Chain A
Amino acid sequence: MASLTARVRDRRTLRRNITALAFLAPAIALIGVFTITPFVQAILLSFQSWDGISLETPWVGLDNYEFVFGDDEFWASMKNVAIFGVVGFFLGNALPLGMAIAVNRIRRLRTFFRTVFYLPGILSVVVVGVIFLFMFEPRSGVLNQMLDMVGLESLQQNWLGDPSFALPSVAAVFIWFHWGFGFLLFLAGLQDIPEELYEAAELDGARAWAKFRYVTWPQLAPVTTIVSLLTLLAALQIFGTVQVLTNGGPGSHTLVPTLLIYEEAFTNNRYGSAAAMSVLFGGALVVLSFLQLTIARRRADK
C-alpha cells in the first residue's frame, strides 16, 4: 500500500519535472545556441587566425593577444571609453538625481516633465547621431549659429573635428541621450520614501541639506546602485552614437573598443585579433559588473 502511493508520487514528480523542463526548453535552447556558444567561440577564435572568408582557421597561440597589447589604437580606445565611463558614471547619476528631486517637489506639470525628459531615451543611436551630426556642423550647424547670434563667436568650435572637443561633444550627446532612464528610476525611488522620515528629520531640526544627506541619500541607495551600474555599462558599450557621429575620429580621439572590434573584423578582416579584443574588453566588463553587483549586495545586507 505504502509503496503504491510512493510510486504514484514518484511518477507525479517525474511528470512535473519533464513538464517544467519542456516549458524551459525554448529559452535554454536559444540562450545555449546564440549566447553561450558564441561566448565560448569568441574565446577560441581569439587564439586563431581568420580573415572572414577562408575555411582554414589555423591556431596561432597568443599571437593575437600580443598584437592587441602592442596596438596603440586599442589602448587609445580603452582610454577614451574610460573617460566615457567616468563621465557617464558621475553626470549620468548626478543630473538625473537632481532633476528627479526637482520634479518631485513641484505639483503641476509633473507628467509633462516626465514625458519630455525620457523622450530622447526612446530614439535609436542612428537618429541621435544624425541629429547631432547636423547640429555640430561647424559652418551651418545650429550650435555655432546660435553662438554667433548671441555674440559669442569666440566660443564657436569645430565640435566633432577638433581633437580636443570631439570627445567631450560625443560625451555630451551620450548624456543627453541617456539621462532620462536614471531620472525615471530616481523619481520612482523618491516617491517610495516614507513621508514620516522627513517629518521626523524636521522635528530634529534638519534643514534641506541634512534631509538629503540623512534621509534621501541612504533611502535611494539601492536605486543609485542600479542606475550607476546600468549607466556605466551603457557608457562603456557605446558604439552606434560614436560610429555615426565621428566614426572614431579625428584620428582615434573618439575611438571606442566596440567600434575598434567592429573595424578590426569587418574592415581589416583580422577576426582573430578582433576576437582577442572582445575577450579582453568583454572580460573587463563582466568583471566590472560582477564587482559592482557584489558591492551592492554587501551594502544591501548591512
Chain B
Amino acid sequence: MVTSLVGTEKNGAAEDPSGDSRDQSPRPRRRRIRANRVGLYGLLGVAALTALFPLLWMLSGSLQTQDELLSGDSLIPSGFHWKTYVTAWTDGDLGTYLSNSVFYTLTAVLGILVVSSMAGYVLARVEFWGKGFFTFVILAVMIIPAPAMFLAQYRLLLDLGLTNSRLGYILILITSGVPMATLIMRSFFVGQPRELEESAALDGASPLRIFASIILPLARPGLAAVAVIQGLHAWNEYLMALVLFDDNSLMPIQRGLTSFNSAETPQQQVLLAATVISVVPVIVFYLLAQRNIVNGLGAGALK
C-alpha cells in the first residue's frame, strides 16, 4: 500500500496511449485518443485551479488596500502593501500564538511518539496477559467521536485545574493521537525482523535498552509517518483550544486567529494577512514532508 503511493510516477509509462500499430485505421483513433487526453488534462487543470484559487485569492487580498478589497474590483493587487503584514504581526500578536503552536505541536508529537511506540511495540511483539483486551480497548476508543466527549473533557480538566493550562491542552492532544499512532506503530513493528533483539537479549540487555537502542532506530520510517500526521493534527486542532483557553497568551494560532477576528474588528486585509502568516509554516512543511504525509495518511487510514 504505502510503497505504491511513492511509486506514482512509474506506473503510467506502461500504458502507451499513442495507439496500436496493427490498428486498421490508425489516424482517427489516434486523434480521438489525443482529444481524450486534452480533455483529461483540461479537467484536471480546472480541478487544480479550483483547489488553488481560494489560497491565491487570500494571498492577493492580503496585499490589497482596504479600498481595493472593499470594492472587490481586482483579483490582482495594484501594489504590494507589505505594511499590512507588519500590522497583522504586531496587532494580532502572532508571534505569541505561533510560538505557542510550535510548542504544543512539538511536545504533543514527542509525547505521542514515545507513548505509542512503546505500546505498539509490546502489542506487536510480546505475548502477555490481557493483550487482546488492551488491543480491543485501543481500537474501541477510536470510535468515540469528539462531539461525545469534548464537554466532559472540559469538565474533567476543570476539576483537575487544567483549563487555561499548557499541560492540560498537551495531555488532550497526546491522548487524542495515541490510539491511531499505536496501531500504525504496531503494524510497523510486526513486519520487523526479530534476530537483532533476540541476540541483544542473549547478551543480557534490558528490555528498555533493547527498545531504545535497537528497536526505535529501526522504526524511523514509521515514526516519521506518525510524526508528520500527528504534527498536522496538533497544529490544526481547534475545538479543544476553543473550549480550554480564555487566556490569550496561551492560545495556539488557530484559536488566536478567531479571537483576533472577533475581538477588535481589524481591517479585512490585516485579517487576511494574519491568516496567510498562519498558513505559511504548514504549507512549507507540507511541501517538504509531502511524501511522508501521503504515506502516513495511507497508513493511518488503512491500518
Contacts and interface: CB of A to CB of B under 8 A. Distances in A.
B243 to A, nearest CB: 7
A75 B128 CA distance: 48
Interface string A117-130: 11110111111001
B238 A126 contact: yes
Contacts of B69: 140
Nearest to B160: A33
Nearest to B177: A30
A28 B131 CA distance: 12
A187 interface: yes
B175 to A, nearest CB: 4
A226 to B, nearest CB: 5
Interface in A26-41: 26-28, 30-31, 33-39, 41
A159 interface: no
Contacts of A168: none
A187 B119 CA distance: 31
B279 A126 contact: no
B48 A261 contact: no
Nearest to A132: B54
Interface string A97-126: 001001111110111111111111011111
Given A127-B275, A237-B146, A275-B151, A111 B8 contact: yes
B147 interface: yes
Interface in B35-58: 37, 40-41, 43-44, 47-48, 50-52, 54-55, 57-58
Contacts of B232: 122
B148 A122 contact: no
Interface in A234-262: 236-237, 239-240, 244, 257-258, 261-262
Nearest to B129: A17
Contact of B148 (A27, A191, A281): A281
Contact of B236 (A123, A185, A222): A123
A291 B273 CA distance: 45
B251 to A, nearest CB: 12
Given A19-B126, A19-B207, A140-B72, A41 B144 contact: no
B238 A120 contact: no
A226 B301 contact: yes
Contact of B12 (A33, A106, A119): A106
Nearest to A95: B47
Contacts of B297: 181, 184-185
Contact residues of B: prevailing secondary structure: helix
B1 A188 contact: yes
Contact of B152 (A42, A106, A114, A222): A42
Contacts of B61: 134
B149 interface: yes
B203 interface: no
Nearest to B269: A134
A205 interface: no
A34 B272 contact: no
A258 B143 CA distance: 16
B214 to A, nearest CB: 14
Contacts of B86: none
A28 B152 contact: no
A39 B175 CA distance: 13
A102 B189 CA distance: 35
Interface string A133-158: 01101011110110000000000000
A65 to B, nearest CB: 15
A200 interface: no
A30 B272 contact: no
7 closest residue pairs by CB, A with B? A282-B148, A140-B72, A38-B152, A20-B128, A42-B152, A124-B236, A27-B119
Interface of B: 1, 4-5, 7-9, 11-15, 17, 37, 40-41, 43-44, 47-48, 50-52, 54-55, 57-58, 61, 69-73, 75, 114-116, 118-119, 121-123, 126-131, 134, 137-138, 141, 143-156, 171-172, 174-176, 178-179, 182, 207, 211, 232, 235-236, 238-239, 242-243, 254, 257-258, 261, 268, 271-272, 275, 278-279, 282-283, 286-287, 290, 293-294, 297-298, 301-302
